[in-house]
Amino acid sequence: MDFGLNLPSYGSGASPETVVRVAEQAERIGLGAIWTFERLLRPMEPVSYGGFAPLAPLPEAYATVYDPLETLSFLAARTSRIRLGTSVMAAPLHPPVVLARRLATLDVLSGGRLVVGLGQGWMAQEFAVAGVPRERRGERFAEHIAAMRAVWGPDPVRFDGDFYAIPESQIGPKPVRPGGPPLVVGAVAPAAVQRAARLGLGLNPVVMAWEQLDDTVSTFRRAAEEAGHDPASLPIVVRVNGSITTKPREERTPLTGSVDQVLEDLDRVRALGAAHVLWAMRTHPDEQLAVMEDLLARAPS
């Protein structure tokens, strides 16, 4: 298991200089991956975050969000080893041929370092501006994955589905790895978790409580096995929406608080078979890098 950090690619502090500095430092200290996310817009009206929370304004920082793939392409040229990830992009907001080609191009340009976190999307306003129906988005997501896998397969490519069709064509470039880059799904609802497992994809859950994470991973592995997949072969990338701090916290969510507290929590994450843990912190980037370097120095190899 290794660790990653969400890039400061959004909000008033986002700048080319900042994301480059964080990416280069993250690689220097030995992090396994850097991560971006997608947000097309920040509606002025309150929304239900994730589709399940009470109505509230989205964070003001979401008014400026760098495109994830352009950002990672920029950073691919400034790094050489660290993996480049999205956590997450809403796949149905993009035509599958367009998204598959953009992902394959980044994968080739980075030497196969791409990790793709995808979701089915939730915000009605984003579906509206993308011109995509929000209904049946779970089915649309599953077919989108199948269409992208076809694009990444041998030429000639052809796909005929309920939502997407690709005429017999040559489509390149192809990703570095046969079958495409690793895919993990940002899923919360049990149906979405089970769908990811049935499709033979990895999982990118947000940890909010230990019981919730345990249940999500158990549901995922059980569904994968029932679908004929080896659960151990499907990667689990745990996302932490919270900070590692220099001082302990009495009240905290899993994998937040001091380095000592996080080190204790990591044993439980390892027991779940997670391949990677990424932190989306709310502190200054320099503080984030400092605590991550401390964590790396003290975590068991």
Question: What does the domain layout of the chain look like in residue ranges?
Answer: 2-298
- Closest by Cα among 259, 256, 264, 252 to 292: 259
pLDDT digits (tens, 9 = 90+) for 146-189: 999 999 999 999 999 999 999 999 999 999 999 999 999 999 99
Are 186 and 239 in contact by the 8 Å Cβ rule? The answer is yes
Distance CA 225, CA 20 (A): 41
pLDDT at 53: 86
Report the residue count for the chain. Answer: 301
Residues of the chain with pLDDT under 50: none
Distance CA 74, CA 54 (A): 36
The CATH class that applies to domain 2-298 reads alpha beta
pLDDT at 156: 98
pLDDT at 108: 98
DSSP one-letter code for 28: H
pLDDT at 166: 98
pLDDT at 52: 82
CA distance to 165, 169, 242, per residue, from 33 (Å)? 34, 34, 17
Distance CA 150, CA 299 (A): 40
Are 34 and 22 in contact by the 8 Å Cβ rule? The answer is yes
Distance CA 36, CA 30 (A): 18
pLDDT at 15: 97
Percent of the chain that is helix, strand, coil (3-state, to 5)? 40, 20, 40
* Interior/surface letters 206-242, b for 16+ CB within 10 angstroms, e for the rest: bbeeeeebeebbebbbebbeeeebebeebbbbbbbbb
